[in-house]
Amino acid sequence: MNNGISAEDLAKLLRDEVKRFSPGERLPSSRALVERFRSSPVTVSRALAVLAAEGLVVTRPGAGTYRARGPAVPAVPVRPADTSWQQIALSAEGAGDAAPRTVDASGVLATLTAPPPGVIALNGGYLHPTLQPEQALGAALARAARRPGAWDRPPMAGLTPLRAWFARETGGTVGTANVLITAGGQAALTTALHALAAPGAPVLLESPSYPGALAVARAAGLRPVPVPVDADGVRPDLLAEAFAATGARVFFCQPLFQNPTGTVLGAERRRQVVGIARAAGAFVVEDDFARRLAHGGPLPPPLVAEDQDGTVVHVTSLTKPTSPSLRVGALIARGPVLERLRAIQVVDSFFVPRPLQEAALELVGAPAWPRHLRAVAAGLRERSAALLAALGRELPCAEPEYAPSGGYHLWLRLPFGTDETALTAAALSQGVAVAPGRPYFVAEAPAPHLRLSFADTANVDEVGEGVRRLAAAGASIGLG
């Protein structure tokens, strides 16, 4: 039986208890801890692992857990380190730098940071554990570990069967040779922007756009330039103007269930966008992060599947529909650019660990994989409908401009004059975490927004409760 205690909370309780034991003395068995705290064996194991990592205990397989004999923490240094010099070293730019490099992860951390206990996460970027294929992942890892050579060095471009799977999933004329395995979508995006644009160069992005792309561009010393979107995706007329005005050679976009708006690039615009980029001698970096998060119904093919001239560099990943820790994705490209992408990845990280690649291959080849995708589609569809209904009932002034048929979030336009920061803080105090809209814009935002995610919620009841708490937060600052 599990009383809901987390591994972190159990570790805190045990941390004080360990002090009552002598160095080298044996602690109660894991079974005794399970019975005493009415917790699960997995929770107890994780709590003990935390204490072992802190140097408080030593675990001996088959013998038990003992209080460590040495000090748990290093001695405090006599003089605090002076690292103030780094402020100059990290900020000083050379005379030839066209754009300062700034590393701002705040927009990404808004969706990665776990909320405090009891807070409903309407800001998450990954599936709730109840939607993750934990059993299938565990089975895939176990089978992968038994494969011959599972711990050998993989081919630099990735395991050939896994590359072939990504090629088949993409369709069109994409072949195995066009695929490079990456450590997830974010790593693929980082590699792509480093490969395609030199420091100081402009890079075009949809506006609003994914904060992770903005962070990568700025960290690489690129100059992000916004191109507005409407209900049908990026506007081709403004995209052409942006290419002409800036001389940019890269356009980053998310044609399917765009983050944060949820829009899908229309059929005619798909052809226009690729044609405009080709005419400008530029690349389109297509982030297809949400293809396996559709709620049902037919989907347009990826832009890269219909591109014969090497204009599109495609980014895809298995992370979003599975687990944040299955960081396996792919870059797909045609022509000499693929060799540059491969070279940059080798320099940055060598290769993706083979056990992860083997596990991913086992997962997508198992009968459980299509069943999991159907379960994810149903779960997201239910949560999306619950979120829309709750907003209409509890907070009608913040209804979304667009209700997507895929993905895991809604983009809310707030009444003019609404203070996003105040609303976000008030929401957290009411027990619900939401993402403010400002980090999604390159330049000044045209209006205040919120992004609400429903992926990291346990069920539709939690979605409804989250909106009720958000409405209470809005009322506390005069929103209504």
Q: What is the pLDDT of residues 21-49, one digit of tens each?
A: 888 888 888 888 888 888 888 888 888 88
pTM over 0.75: yes
CA torsion through residues 165, 168, 170, 176, sign: positive
pLDDT value for 130: 93
Where are the domains positioned within the chain? 7-67, 106-131+370-476, 140-364
Low-confidence residues in the chain, pLDDT < 70: 1-4, 70-101, 110-111, 480
The predicted pLDDT at position 277 comes to 93
Report how far apart, in Å, the C-alpha atoms of 429 and of each of 255, 320, 391 are: 35, 28, 19
> By C-alpha distance, which of 172, 180, 175, 242 is closest to 207?
242
According to the model, what pLDDT value does residue 85 have? 52
Name the phi and psi angles at 376, rounded to 5. Answer: -65, -45
The pLDDT, as a whole number, for residue 1 is 45
Burial pattern 101-127, b for ≥16 Cβ within 10 A else e, equals eeeeeebbebbeeebeeebbbbbbbbb
Q: Which pLDDT value is given to residue 377?
A: 97
Bridge partners, 223 (sequence order): 202
CATH ID of 7-67, from 3.40.50.150, 3.40.1350.10, 3.40.190.10, 1.10.10.10: 1.10.10.10
Q: What is the pLDDT of residue 108?
A: 72
Are 363 and 322 contacting, i.e. CB atoms less than 8 angstroms apart? yes
pLDDT at 75: 46
Tell me what pLDDT residue 420 has.
93
The answer to whether 402 and 229 are in contact (CB under 8 A) is: no
Distances (CA, A) of 14 to 29, 37, 427: 13, 11, 33
Position 70 scores a pLDDT of 67
> For residue 116, what pLDDT is reported?
81
Specify the CATH number for 140-364; select among 3.40.640.10, 3.40.50.970, 3.30.565.10, 3.30.1120.130.
Answer: 3.40.640.10
Q: What is the pLDDT of residue 96?
A: 55
In angstroms, the CA 247 to CA 234 distance is 18
The pLDDT score that the predictor gives to residue 78 is: 55
Residue 230: Cβ within 10 Å count: 14
Which of the listed CATH numbers 3.90.1150.10, 3.40.109.10, 3.30.1330.20, 3.40.1280.30 matches domain 106-131+370-476? 3.90.1150.10
- For residue 436, what are the β-bridge partners? 450
